[in-house]
Amino acid sequence: MSSALRIRWTIAPQTAPRPLITCNRCGGVKAYRSSGKFRVNANGKRIDVWLIYRCINCDNSWNFGIFERRNRRDIEPALLRALESNDAALARRHAFDVTALRGQVGRVEEFPDVDVHKTALGGTSEAASVLELRLGLEMPISLRLDRLLANELGISRSRLQALEEKRLLVVDCDGAKALRKPARDGTTVRVDLAGEPDRQAIISAARG
C-alpha cells in the first residue's frame, strides 16, 4: 500500500505587478511601482483614496484609485485608520490586485517570482512513495503550475508532463492542461514516485 507524504506550500508573490503608463516627464510608456503610500482626501463627508505609484525612471506620480467619493460612514473605522497610517499589508494587497489595475490602465507587467513556505502535514519522508502537495496562495499569481513545481521539486517541466501523461501526476483543479495554467489557491497535486530512482531527492526538495 502506498504511503503518502502530505505537504502544504504557502505561496507569496514577491514583486507586485507594475502598470505601464505614459509618463508625462519621460515622454513615453514607463513602468510604475507602488510607493506603499496612500493618499486620503476628505471633502466634507466624502472621501477619495488612492495608492500612489511612482515612475521607475523619474519618480513621477500616478494615483491608483481605491475609493471614489465614498461616504465616510460607509468605510469601517479600522480600514480608514489603516489607509491613513499607510498600513503595509493593506498597501501590498492593493498593489497585487492586478484585475483592478488592468481595469484602470489596461497594460500591466507581471512577475513570476514567489516565496514558498513548506509545512509537512502528515506522513514520513522515508516511507513515502506518494507526494501530496496542497497549495495555499496569499493572493493570485501569474506563475504557471508546471514552472512552480519544476522550480521547487528540482525536476524538468518535460518530466512533469511525462508523469502526467502516465497518470502518475494528478492535479485536482478543474480544466484541462492545469500544469500550463497559473497556480491556483486550494489546488492539490498528487505525484506517485514509487518507480522514480530519485524519489528521495524529490521528496526532500518538496519538504524544503
**3-state per-residue secondary structure call for 56-100:** CCCCCEEEEEEEEEEEHHHCCHHHHHHHHCCCHHHHHHHHCCHHH
Identify which of 103, 138, 140 has the alpha carbon closest to the alpha carbon of residue 19. 103
Distance of CA 2 to the CA centre of its chain: 32
Q: How much is the pLDDT for 53?
A: 98
Kindly give the parts of the chain with pLDDT less than 70.
1-2, 125, 174-176
| DSSP state for residue 39 in the 8-state scheme | E
> In the prediction, which pLDDT does 43 show?
86
Residue 128: per-residue pLDDT: 83
- For residues 145 and 180, is the Cβ–Cβ distance under 8 A? yes
Domain ranges of the chain: 4-13+113-207, 18-109
Instruction: Note whether 15 and 113 are within 8 A (CB).
Output: yes
| Residue 82 one-letter amino acid | A
The pTM (predicted TM-score) of the whole model is 0.79
Q: Say how many Å lie between the first and final Cα of the chain, rounded.
A: 26
Task: Give the bridge partners for 170, in sequence order.
Answer: 190
Q: Are 129 and 192 in contact (CB under 8 A)?
A: yes
Provide the pLDDT for residue 1.
Answer: 46
